[in-house]
Structure 1
Amino acid sequence: MDSYDSLKEGEKGAWLSIVAYVFLSAFKITIGYMTGSEALAADGINNTTDIVVSLAVLIGLRISRKPPDRDHPYGHKRAETIASLIASFIMAAAGLQVVLQAGRSFFADERTAPDMLAAWVALACAAVMWGVYVYNYRLAKRIENQSLMAAAQDNRSDALVSIGAAVGIIGSRLGFPVLDAVAALIVGLIILKTAWEVFSHASHTLTDGFDDQRLKVFKQTVKTTPGVKRIKDIRARIHGNSVLLDVVVEVSAELSVGESHDISDEIERRMLREHRVNNVHVHIEPFEEQEKNGNQPYR
């Protein structure tokens, strides 16, 4: 599948999240206030911010599909990573709101147990959101899309949050009204944890960070390519749903330009075949037993 086609495919997951969140947030908030459940209402408020998160992901995917131009020779694919970063801020704001609201409820003079209907609604919504998570997770893995994976993680957190809300409501009905507020607090903390994970991953990518273990695997593939004498340098970075790899290799100085070029082509073919990396820039240099200038090659 072409990278731009995969971005278009990813929009389906974003739209699914938006539709699910619109209905679930309205349903949870309404039932939450009707039954007096702070946990369910907090869960519904969380879902309203999730609508904005999904819209940010959708916009990022749309921008990422724009072809390269004079100002963006590598294309616009990092827009989806920026969308993930924005999503993390929105999730953090929602989490703080829920935590503060739950904290205030601990100092309430009176607490009443919410109606059992709230628990059944929470469990039903959890089942729906888990189905959305499974769909988006599988789609994000298939098309290797970071922003959709962030949305999928948010979907999973929302499903767990709804289960936690149901547990709190049931506990409240069993004679422990404070458990509804405890569940709301746990909801907020889970949202904050998810926001931090998404933020860390997106900021690492935007600053050209790359997994060292994965880079070592790439290095081994290049190193074992026939004709490669030594790897002088190898670097990689994430660009949307693509990996950009830059590698400097040394080959025998006795090879012709054509033979050296064949080695370069073989590196590109192996990276695509074994690691699905189709953006590889290979620079060829002549192999020397000892560096004349004393510099040590990359090992």
Structure 2
Amino acid sequence: MPAEKTQSKVERGVYLSLSAYIVLSLLKLGVGWFYSSEALVADGLNNSTDILASVAVLVGLKISRKPADRDHPYGHLRAETIASMIASFIMVVIGLEVFISAVKSIVEFNIKPPSTIAGFTAIVSAFVMLAVYRYNIKLARETDSQGLKAAALDNRSDAFVSIGAAVGIFGAQFGILWLDPLAAVLVALMIIKTGWDIFYETSHNLSDGFDYEEGKEMEKKILQVIGVKQVTDLKARNHGSSAIIDVTILVNPSLNVIESHEITENIEAMLKQAYKVGSISVHVEPHEMKKEVERNE
């Protein structure tokens, strides 16, 4: 898929999330405040953090589209990952604020019974966010976008948060008044967990982490390329939604430069077809010479 078309799809998903969050946060905060539901207010604040997170992802996407330059020879794709990390910080901070407020309400038992209107608002919101999640997770898989994947996972957690808020609100209708602020506590914990999950993944990628098993799969595929005798080293790291790969292979020393180069081209073509790869560097060494060195050692 062309990069421009991929970026356009990703932005479409983020704009959809942003629109849903703006409408739902205003609705939840208004209904929650007017009908005395801490759980719905917490859910509305959760969506407010999502607005900020979506804006951060959009900014990151805009920056990531900039072409490579002298200071960024690999391009600006990591801007999307950085934006996702910023979004995770926002989620955790707001989650902690909601948690402290809800616990304080339970301890002081300063609770007003919420209206069923608040409960129905939460249920409608849950269905809306589940629909947005299904759309965005499909786009994230098609484009392999970390930013959109983070947004989609947040969409799903928001739907569960709204369901939890609804349970708390309707439970309070049966005289269990503490169930509403308890639902707010659970909402806060889900916000914090979502933020932590996104932070963990983005920090792994920004610190040049790469899935070990996927690296081993790459090695096996490279060994299947005709002419490759051995893979002595393979390093990979994520750069935005693509990977940068450096690999050293051993080939028959009797091959000339053109034949060796043809093997490297076959490796590059195979990896780009099997994985989303941004850059590949293949270093060729003679197979028998390598074995001779090892015997001398």
Relative to the length of structure 1, the TM-score reads 0.96
Partners of 1:272 and 1:293 lie apart in 2 by: 33
Q: From the superposition, tell whether residues 109 and 182 of structure 1 become closer, same or farther in structure 2 (CA, over 3 Å).
A: closer
Are the aligned partners of 1:8 and 1:61 in contact in 2 as well (CA < 8 Å)? no
Aligned residue pair count: 296
Partners of 2:129 and 2:109 lie apart in 1 by: 34
Are the aligned partners of 1:119 and 1:167 in contact in 2 as well (CA < 8 Å)? yes
| 1:107 Cα deviation after fit | 2.0
SS in 2 for 1:245: strand
Q: Does 1:238 align with 2:250?
A: no
Aligned partner of 2:173 in structure 1 is: 173
| 1:280 Cα deviation after fit | 1.6
Query: Equivalences for 1:40-189 in 2 at 5 Å?
Result: 40-189=40-189
| 1:293 Cα deviation after fit | 5.7
| 1:271 Cα deviation after fit | 0.9
Deviations 1:129-150 (A, max 9, x none): 1111111111111100101111
Q: From the superposition, tell whether residues 140 and 130 of structure 1 become closer, same or farther in structure 2 (CA, over 3 Å).
A: same
| 1:294 Cα deviation after fit | 6.7
Equivalent position amino acid for 2:74 in 1: Y
Partners of 2:148 and 2:107 lie apart in 1 by: 39
SS in 1 for 2:293: coil
Partners of 2:225 and 2:295 lie apart in 1 by: 26
Aligned partner of 1:290 in structure 2 is: 291
Are the aligned partners of 1:7 and 1:64 in contact in 2 as well (CA < 8 Å)? no
CA RMSD for the aligned pairs? 1.5
Q: From the superposition, tell whether residues 19 and 294 of structure 1 become closer, same or farther in structure 2 (CA, over 3 Å).
A: farther
Partners of 1:14 and 1:273 lie apart in 2 by: 27
| 1:295 Cα deviation after fit | 9.9
Are the aligned partners of 1:271 and 1:278 in contact in 2 as well (CA < 8 Å)? no
Larger % of helix: which?
A: 2
Partners of 2:59 and 2:69 lie apart in 1 by: 19
Deviations 1:258-282 (A, max 9, x none): 1111111111111122224352211
Residue ranges of structure 2 left out of the alignment (5+ in a row): none
| 1:292 Cα deviation after fit | 1.4
Equivalent position amino acid for 1:164 in 2: G
Partners of 1:127 and 1:264 lie apart in 2 by: 50
Aligned partner of 1:15 in structure 2 is: 15
SS in 1 for 2:75: coil
Are the aligned partners of 1:129 and 1:155 in contact in 2 as well (CA < 8 Å)? yes
Equivalent position amino acid for 2:293 in 1: K
Partners of 2:110 and 2:96 lie apart in 1 by: 24
Q: From the superposition, tell whether residues 276 and 109 of structure 1 become closer, same or farther in structure 2 (CA, over 3 Å).
A: closer
Partners of 1:140 and 1:28 lie apart in 2 by: 27
Are the aligned partners of 1:25 and 1:47 in contact in 2 as well (CA < 8 Å)? yes
| 1:17 Cα deviation after fit | 1.1
Higher alpha-carbon deviation: 101-110 or 115-124: 101-110
